[in-house]
Structure 1
Amino acid sequence: MKINKAYRFKLEPTAAQIQQLKQACGCQRFVYNYYLKKNMEQYKQNKTFVFYHEMATDLPNLKKQFPFLSESFSQSLQTTLRNLDRAFKNFFKGLAEFPTFKKKNKHDSFTCPQKFRIEEKVIFIPKIGEVRYRKSRQIKGKVKSITVSQNGGRWFVSILTEQGIEQQPKTFEKPDDRDDSL
């Protein structure tokens, strides 16, 4: 059986890298809010929504319209669109409320699904470069993605892994008879 497990470590970015991390978070937030607003407007006009495939197809046009988005890792932007798509689908299933706009500096984060590299003291983040981090324990399992986040002015990286675990055999034996004479 396989499970997902995340390891969280503190990043130690330089001042220039902090600026790049903030910009990457801002691009994610901009894309999320742009397509959320676009969906709200489209629903008012013709009662339909735009889901992941249409948003991802339109993303290159948005990058041409707003060139600063090209400075962000494109797969991170696509992951943001998947997150918005999941938020809409959860709303329609009745599992969550309608998606809301993302706010600056509140839970700033972005995910890199690939093209990152993890070494002993540095993590290579696409479009940002090698960032030092404090590794406090061994990472086990197959690394699936990394998520960089900010909390209280400090930066962290969460490394998502997939690990195999042994499934315990199911037993259908009765528990030992207890002494109920007490």
Structure 2
Amino acid sequence: MVKHKGYKFRIYPTKEQEVLIAKTIGCSRFVFNHFLSKWDAAHEATGKGLSYDACSKDLPMLKQEFGWLTEVDSTAVQNSVKHLADAYKKFFKKDGSHPRFKSKRNPVQSYTANIQGKSQLPEVSIVGNTLKLPKLKWVRFANSRQVEGRILNATIRRTASGKYFVSLLVEHEISEMPKTGSSVGVDVGLKNFAILSNGTVYQNDRYFHTLEKKLAREQRKLSRRQRIALNKKVRLSEAKNYQKQKQKVARIHEKIANRRTDFLHKVSTEIVKNHDVIGIETLQVKNMQQNRKLSKSISEVSWSEFHRMLKYKAGWYGKTVVKVGKTFASSQLCSSCGHRHQDVKHLALREWTCPACGVHHDRDVNAGLNLKQEAERILAFSTVGTTGLA
């Protein structure tokens, strides 16, 4: 089955390439903001917005007016218009917020360039540790894995820590994984990250917690250097000590994010590899974060990202993820007889005995079993594409 797949690599551009990347980012941002302003003005005047085609037709005139737009890759500028149209489409479908103007002060900046022609295979675009990118030509990169498939586009990103990365979107024939005949329920938590219905436990390594003290110390230094710069009436963009410390703080955040992402990929791949049907619960993470005592811990575990990984990897490899309804009381129900025990609402109760059938339960394993059974029930009475299937 042909699927889209992404590969992310760190790149090491030369000084000249860094200048061109900065120019391309700036031009893409300018075009996005220009048409966003026009789109809002048209909507306010007529009640209707613009369209991707209408903006694309105006793009050549805009390039004539601002000649420096022609110095960068044309597909990068074109893609910024497409991203705006897609953002509005999501907004009108109530699947996202209203598009906002892009700021050059945003710590993370990026642009997307198309790889032209159908002949752009990895063998053509990658030679050793160099990667051919539109307008930038050959860029040195950390070639950590083999790219398979036809490269469609490349997103070049500059992070808050000053590093450069490229994400390659490829079209690739992905083979399904062998069927195991196994079903599993996945209950996520704070004490342990994930507990499966078969008793497998994935520990919560708390990557943010391990570096929290160091991060707080460096952030205090950043605040002091900010005050010093402001007292001397120096712009923060020109305050060298402030900018150095800002990058140091960004590197700590980046380290936390990288460790967490690596952990989520390993766990999600292992679960998809070993099970054909995966039952997960529908979580209202934003509502759960209203609890001030638990909001930091909930943010740290990244449940939403974990569920997203499970879904797209299951789609790749021919497995099925079933989302169980948010009203399903997975923790309170006895997986043996179905009795609902209200006392289990309290998080402190980690083990309990069913008053109806007398079976002793571990709270999390029991929840996983209930999710597994409910997923199998939904799957038995549903077809692919109906509500309940992810």
* Equivalent residue letter for 1:69: L
Whether 2:166 is the aligned partner of 1:157: answer: yes
Counterpart contact for 1:7–1:160, Cα < 8 Å = yes
Residue matched to 2:4: 4
Counterpart contact for 1:71–1:127, Cα < 8 Å = no
* Equivalent residue letter for 2:152: K
User: Is the helix fraction higher in 1 or 2?
Assistant: 2
Residue matched to 1:138: 146
* Equivalent residue letter for 1:163: H
Counterpart contact for 1:7–1:158, Cα < 8 Å = yes
| Higher Cα Rg, which structure | 2
* Equivalent residue letter for 1:85: A
Structure 2: how far apart are the matches of 1:6 and 1:171? 26
User: Is the strand fraction higher in 1 or 2?
Assistant: 1
Q: TM-score, normalised by structure 2?
A: 0.42
Q: For residues 5-44 of structure 1, what are the alpha-carbon distances to aligned partners after superposition, in whole Å with 9 as ceiling and x for unaligned?
A: 2111111111111111011011111110110011111222
Q: Compare 62-71 and 124-133 and name the one that shifted more.
A: 124-133
Superposition map of 1:1-182 within 5 A: 1-106=1-106, 107-115=108-116, 117-151=125-159, 152-167=161-176
Residue matched to 1:176: none
How far residue 163 of structure 1 moved from its aligned partner, in angstroms, is 2.1
Unaligned runs of 5+ in 2: 183-335, 337-390
* Equivalent residue letter for 1:110: Y
Q: TM-score, normalised by structure 1?
A: 0.87
RMSD, aligned CA = 2.5
* Equivalent residue letter for 1:118: I
How far residue 156 of structure 1 moved from its aligned partner, in angstroms, is 0.6
Unaligned runs of 5+ in 1: 174-179
Q: For residues 136-160 of structure 1, what are the alpha-carbon distances to aligned partners after superposition, in whole Å with 9 as ceiling and x for unaligned?
A: 1111222221111111211111111
Structure 2: how far apart are the matches of 1:96 and 1:84? 12
The verdict on how the C-alpha distance between 1:166 and 1:11 changes in structure 2, with shifts beyond 3 A counting, is closer
Structure 1: how far apart are the matches of 2:52 and 2:21? 25
Q: Compare 105-114 and 164-173 and name the one that shifted more.
A: 164-173
Identity level (%): 34
How far residue 85 of structure 1 moved from its aligned partner, in angstroms, is 0.4
Structure 1: how far apart are the matches of 2:138 and 2:168? 15
Structure 2: how far apart are the matches of 1:139 and 1:16? 26
* Equivalent residue letter for 1:5: K
How far residue 166 of structure 1 moved from its aligned partner, in angstroms, is 3.0
Counterpart contact for 2:115–2:151, Cα < 8 Å = no
How far residue 161 of structure 1 moved from its aligned partner, in angstroms, is 1.4
* SS of match in other structure, 2:4: strand
Structure 2: how far apart are the matches of 1:105 and 1:129? 27
Structure 1: how far apart are the matches of 2:149 and 2:137? 24
Counterpart contact for 1:35–1:55, Cα < 8 Å = yes
* Equivalent residue letter for 2:166: V
* SS of match in other structure, 2:85: helix
* Equivalent residue letter for 2:139: V
Counterpart contact for 1:141–1:161, Cα < 8 Å = yes
